Copies of this chain bind each other. A is one copy, B any other.
Amino acid sequence: MSVYLNSEKPEDYLALVDKYDTWLFDCDGVLWRGDSLIDGAKEVLELLRARQKSVLFVTNNATKSRRNYKKKFDALGIEAHVDEVYGSAFAAAVYLSSVIKLSKDKKVYVIGMSGLEEELKDEGISFIGGTDPADHTLLPPQDEIPPDPSVAAVLVGLDTAINYTKLSKAFRYLHSNPECLFLATNEDSTYPSDKGLLPGAGSILAPLKYSLGESRPVTAIGKPNSVMLDCIKAKHDFDPKRTIMVGDRLNTDIQFGKGGGLATLLVLTGIASEKDLKGPTPPIAIPDYVTSSIGDLRVLGEQA
């Protein structure tokens, strides 16, 4: 059962903050929506920092590198440091360099955008595809796509320049080589863009999953996969028992937190609503705490 926090009992928020030293935040739907800050988010982050809490940002958005992401925080006036930002693009690059330990003579075929390429470059991973002009076409493949044993992995993220040639190349590399790894930055079904809700990274991945069939499972690096937490652990020392994950999605954020043995706080400013917790279908993950908005934690300031 979840504990529902509300502003009529401000002492509950104080007790919550005392229990956890490390605060992991999802961003979209928690701190902002598109280009608009959630009311009170900036102030709450400042209050947590003032209490010496570690603040980290954990996002499945793989279209931006950590450096791009930092610019988004700057633009919204939120304090954030590049080493506090964990995106699924970064996690995918670290997975390839540190978990898979991709050999230097191998490369990755990428469906994704420049943010993903930037993280791969930073980790020293060779890749083809991505934003390569040769694959930026609305024509189908003009020649047979030869197998390439040097392509040791196909990595798929949200790519708004997705096309049939990219899908065909990724399909052929995977289909012709059973050893080729099949990776995705994340499987979010939708993407809350500033043009409204649009198909997400999982939708860009779906054609390959469908054409390859169930015998070819994909490893999705982002939340709820534990790879993301392993990445954070490798860089930050924290006690899972004194760490809380704050998010707006049950099937990514809350499941991720629970899988990693962290406490979880659901906010209702994004995807999940009270209906998802109390509706006829049992929720995929039950958060430890629920509050209407991250802004509710502003009561911390009033008690300081």
Interface residues of A (CB under 8 A from B): 136-145, 159-164, 167-168, 171-172, 175, 189-190, 193, 195-200, 202-211, 213
Q: How far is the CA of A172 from the CA of B203 in the complex (A)?
A: 14
Q: How far is the CA of A189 from the CA of B211 in the complex (A)?
A: 5
- Which residues of chain B are near A213, meaning CB under 8 Å? 189
Which residue of chain B lies nearest to A197 when distances are taken between CB atoms in the complex?
Answer: B175
Contact, CB under 8 Å: A203 / B196? no
Which residue of chain B lies nearest to A187 when distances are taken between CB atoms in the complex?
Answer: B210
Contact, CB under 8 Å: A211 / B202? yes
Q: How far is the CA of A160 from the CA of B138 in the complex (A)?
A: 7
Q: How far is the CA of A74 from the CA of B137 in the complex (A)?
A: 32
A141-B195, A190-B211, A211-B203 given as contacts; is B162 within 8 A of A164 (CB)?
Answer: yes
Q: How far is the CA of A143 from the CA of B193 in the complex (A)?
A: 11
Contact, CB under 8 Å: A138 / B164? no
- Which residues of chain B are near A143, meaning CB under 8 Å? 195
Which of B190, B196, B206 contacts A209, CB < 8 Å?
Answer: B206
Contact, CB under 8 Å: A140 / B160? yes
Q: Pick 7 A–B contacts, CB within 8 A, sort by A.
A: A145-B195, A145-B196, A162-B162, A171-B197, A175-B197, A200-B211, A202-B210
Which residue of chain B lies nearest to A142 when distances are taken between CB atoms in the complex?
Answer: B195
A187 to chain B, nearest CB (A): 8
Which residue of chain B lies nearest to A175 when distances are taken between CB atoms in the complex?
Answer: B197
Which of B138, B190, B207 contacts A203, CB < 8 Å?
Answer: B207
Contact, CB under 8 Å: A199 / B168? yes
Q: How far is the CA of A202 from the CA of B138 in the complex (A)?
A: 19
Contact, CB under 8 Å: A206 / B199? no
Contact, CB under 8 Å: A141 / B198? yes
| Extra inter-chain contacts (12) besides given A144-B195, A168-B199, A189-B211, CB under 8 Å | A140-B193, A141-B195, A145-B195, A145-B196, A161-B163, A164-B198, A167-B199, A172-B196, A199-B208, A199-B211, A203-B206, A203-B211
Q: How far is the CA of A189 from the CA of B139 in the complex (A)?
A: 20
Contact, CB under 8 Å: B162 / A195? no
- Which residues of chain B are near A159, meaning CB under 8 Å? 164
Q: How far is the CA of A73 from the CA of B161 in the complex (A)?
A: 36
Which residue of chain B lies nearest to A207 when distances are taken between CB atoms in the complex?
Answer: B203
A168 to chain B, nearest CB (A): 5
Contact, CB under 8 Å: B138 / A195? no
- Which residues of chain B are near A198, meaning CB under 8 Å? 140-141, 164, 168, 171-172
Q: How far is the CA of A160 from the CA of B161 in the complex (A)?
A: 14
Q: How far is the CA of A208 from the CA of B199 in the complex (A)?
A: 8
- Which residues of chain B are near A141, meaning CB under 8 Å? 195, 198
Q: How far is the CA of A204 from the CA of B167 in the complex (A)?
A: 10
Contact, CB under 8 Å: B199 / A207? yes
- Which residues of chain B are near A210, meaning CB under 8 Å? 189, 199, 202-203, 205-206
- Which residues of chain B are near A197, meaning CB under 8 Å? 171-172, 175
